[in-house]
Amino acid sequence: MELSRESMRAAVPARPEDGHKGTFGHLLVLAGSRGFTGAAKLVCEAAGRSGVGLVTAGIPYPLADILAASLFEAMSLRLPATEEESFAPAAVNPALKFAQDKDAVVLGPGLSRHPGTEAFVHGFVLHCPVPLVIDADGLNALSEQRTVISKIPSPCILTPHPGEMARLMDTSSGKVQADREGVAQRLAKSSGCVVALKGHRTAIAGPEGQFAVNTTGNNGLGTGGTGDVLAGLIGGLLAQGMSAFEAACLGVYLHGLAGDIAAERFTRRGMIAGDVIRAIPDAWRMLES
């Protein structure tokens, strides 16, 4: 099916008049490394625009003060780091302990390809107690041990771009692009995860045969950081109690709609990821009106 404004409006999570920040979910974001703190910032800010009640940024200890200085709405969790200032294997247990009573997790943006950080990813996802979005370097870590994906115990959404999908499926980007629907559906079925294959007309596939194609967005979204924005939006919706497939569909649609609004304001050539975040409130207004 093609995503429409009517179907996505009907999927928007309820927001009771007497709700408070505890009502609308708590998202844990595990992202960032030296040189990539911006990824964590973009995820958290986009999640905050999703309607989620609380966001906590889990970040490598040496980078905590840097990120805290620019993140006013999100809280922070300092976690053990490698000498290269990325997540260390020792971060697995404290991250899992913190996640126990949260509502969802986003894992992956800006993590780096450090071997110790990849071990952290494997250890975390195999025991994650809550719904999970895996993006960027989280996906790259899983491509090194693809059997891990089918062992993830919680509802999971994978958000690869074509290059990441090619690594996950041991094929080429060209072959992924030639059969986007089929590749997304095959990974969803084999992994048990929801898959959102990013790009023009993002393809969303569920493990039980669900499938949808997005109808919003433009090539202005082809700029660094917009994938982090999408991960934050989907994670925030997941934390509000949506199913994995519904959260992926609504997040992708809203992200594209915000991209369309940003393109009108700043042009497709001139827009950046932060412009998409700033357009999310207007996208909500347009969707819900």
- Kindly report the average pLDDT of the chain as a whole number: 97
Cα atoms in the 13 Å half-sphere on the side-chain side of 244: 27
H-type helices in the chain, by residue range? Answer: 5-11, 37-48, 64-68, 92-99, 115-125, 137-144, 162-169, 173-178, 180-191, 226-239, 244-266, 273-288
DSSP summary character for residue 73: S
What percent of the chain stands above pLDDT 70? Answer: 100
What is the pLDDT at residue 144? 87
The pairing of strands 194-197 and 203-205 is: antiparallel
Report the predicted TM-score, pTM, of the whole model to 2 decimal places.
0.97
What is the pLDDT at residue 66? 87
Which of the four pLDDT bands, split at 50, 70 and 90, describes residue 51?
A: very high
Instruction: Tell me the CATH architecture of domain 21-284.
Output: 3-Layer(aba) Sandwich (3.40)
Give the residues across from 54 on adjacent strands: 26
Report the distance separating Cα 225 and Cα 24, nearest Å.
Answer: 25
Report the distance separating Cα 284 and Cα 16, nearest Å.
Answer: 16
What is the pLDDT at residue 132? 98
Q: What is the pLDDT of residues 144-198, one digit of tens each?
A: 888 999 999 999 999 999 999 999 999 999 999 999 999 999 999 999 999 999 9
The pairing of strands 156-158 and 104-107 is: unpaired
Question: What is the mean predicted confidence (pLDDT) over 110-136?
Answer: 97
Report the distance separating Cα 231 and Cα 204, nearest Å.
Answer: 14
Which of the four pLDDT bands, split at 50, 70 and 90, describes residue 68?
A: confident
Phi and psi at residue 76, in whole multiples of 5°? Answer: -130, 150
What is the pLDDT at residue 242? 98
Query: Residue 71 corresponds to which tokens in the numbers above?
Result: 């993140």
Strand order in the sheet with 26-30: 75-79, 54-60, 26-30, 104-107, 132-134, 156-158, 194-197, 203-205, 211-213
DSSP summary character for residue 243: -
Burial of 197-233, coded b for 16+ CB within 10 Å and e otherwise, reads bbbeebbbbbbeebebbbbbbeebbebebbbbbbbbb
